[in-house]
Structure 1
Amino acid sequence: MSPPRDSLQIGPVHCAWMPHRRGTPTAPLVQPWLALQLAVDEPALGVWRDTHGRPHLAAGHAGLDINWSHSGDQLLVALGRGVRVGADLELLRPRPRAMVLAARFFTPGEAATLQALPAALQEDAFVRLWCAKEAVLKAHGRGIVFGLHRLEFVADGDAWRLDRCDPALGTPADWTLHAFAPMPGFLATLAWRAL
């Protein structure tokens, strides 16, 4: 049997995406999916958030990690086995200030790479880079407050490859990233490293 078209298994990470109404809590959507994946009742999940807002499963689920992201009217949830996972989902929409944000928050090399692209490609490349950075930082546990400039990606064809990062994030070789379009008009990135 093929997997439903609203989910994907990539190495040790299983993810799914579903409709989400902006401004509504995510837990009522995330927990039933997680409970189904783990074959437990929802209360047994024991989902909690740490002081930085990162979600976790109860101690009884050692070796498992969760993360999710929502944008527009969609939600992406990820369940990692034996890895620390981060997920980012972005609605593809006009971003007229993309180059201003890149110059302010990305590394000088990343901003220069984006600026050198033809104008028609800059916004898409910006979103791909943003997703990659945010997925790694969410897996790390601090999110973008840790600093988007504390990890640097280099262009690798149409994708971005982690080239260097703050020692608190480990080494670039520790990380695996997978960018994909879960549905038309959206871009997602999953990032994970071994526990």
Structure 2
Amino acid sequence: MSHDEFDLPPLSPDEIHIWRCRWAGGAGERAFAGLLRRYAGDEDVAIARGEHGKPLFRSPHDTLGFNWSHSGDVALLAVGRGPEGFEVGVDVEAVRPRARALELSQRFFAPEETACLRALGEGARLQGFLTLWTAKEAVLKAHGGGLSYGLHRVSFTLGDEGAVPARFDGDVGQAGEWQVHRLALNEGLVSAVAWRGEKRTLRVFTFPL
């Protein structure tokens, strides 16, 4: 399906739209670029890159924040409207065995997060690790600093609804200023979306290629 063959759902300021599609051969990135231009209302707008590689629109389209992520053949795009410079981040990870999850946590996560993972049973530890990882990535991608900012500088607790912001450090802002939500996709994927500001309604769509 071409990106201009269907009606684009209206995006209100109190929503975040999540698009899911296949990534194969870069098809997802091409589909997302077409969707984003339609959201911007400008077929010629160029997708620029921030200092750390984050895709973005320059003024006058910088009220449209967006981010994408892919793992294997699955890709996600998050889009939202806000004030100038509004940003949103999304991350998705395929669930696969990670024998070094606890070691990675000790190296890159906050000490209290590692302690939480260590206390989990073997079966729950991988899910907990990926829940924390995707939440951290989503926040840091929205912030624009990416992994170079430091995963340990945004720490979370694990709750029934996923990762809950606990303590953020530096210009990323206070933990309470952020919205971080787990996305329910399927059992083989763990994903999170994050933005700074008030709560919004999440709407999930599928883009068939």
**Length-normalised TM-score, structure 2:** 0.81
Between the aligned partners of 1:155 and 1:10, the Cα distance in structure 2 is 29
Tell me which stretches of 4 or more aligned residues in structure 1 moved more than 6 Å.
none
Supply the RMSD in Å over aligned alpha carbons: 2.3
How far the C-alpha of 1:157 sits from its partner, in A, is: 2.8
Q: 1:99 — aligned with what?
A: 102
What is the SS of the residue equivalent to 1:59? coil
Change (3 A) 1:107 1:47: same
Note if 1:130 corresponds to 2:157.
no
What is the SS of the residue equivalent to 1:61? coil
How far the C-alpha of 1:37 sits from its partner, in A, is: 3.2
Kept in 1: contact 2:21–2:74 (CA 8 A): yes
Between the aligned partners of 1:112 and 1:72, the Cα distance in structure 2 is 30
Kept in 1: contact 2:163–2:180 (CA 8 A): no
Aligned residue identity for 1:37: Y
How far the C-alpha of 1:111 sits from its partner, in A, is: 0.3
Q: 1:35 — aligned with what?
A: 37
Between the aligned partners of 1:10 and 1:60, the Cα distance in structure 2 is 17
Kept in 1: contact 2:12–2:81 (CA 8 A): no
CA displacement 1:112-168 (0-9 Å, x = unmatched): 100000111000110010000000010110111110111111122352211111131
Aligned residue identity for 1:56: L
Between the aligned partners of 1:186 and 1:149, the Cα distance in structure 2 is 23
For CA contacts below 8 A with separation 6 or more, give which structure has more relative contact order: 2
How many residues are paired up? Answer: 186
Note if 1:85 corresponds to 2:88.
yes
Q: 1:119 — aligned with what?
A: 122
CA displacement 1:89-117 (0-9 Å, x = unmatched): 11111111111111111011000100000
How far the C-alpha of 1:59 sits from its partner, in A, is: 1.1
Gaps of 5+ in 2: 1-6, 199-209
Kept in 2: contact 1:84–1:193 (CA 8 A): yes
Kept in 2: contact 1:66–1:85 (CA 8 A): yes
Q: 1:162 — aligned with what?
A: 165
Q: 1:193 — aligned with what?
A: 196
Q: 2:66 — aligned with what?
A: 66
How far the C-alpha of 1:185 sits from its partner, in A, is: 1.2
Change (3 A) 1:103 1:129: same
What is the SS of the residue equivalent to 1:51? coil
What is the SS of the residue equivalent to 2:185? coil
Between the aligned partners of 1:158 and 1:26, the Cα distance in structure 2 is 28
Q: 1:140 — aligned with what?
A: 143
Kept in 2: contact 1:110–1:152 (CA 8 A): yes
What is the SS of the residue equivalent to 2:98? coil
What is the SS of the residue equivalent to 1:62? coil
Between the aligned partners of 1:71 and 1:194, the Cα distance in structure 2 is 27
81-90 vs 58-67, which moves further: 58-67
Aligned residue identity for 2:132: L
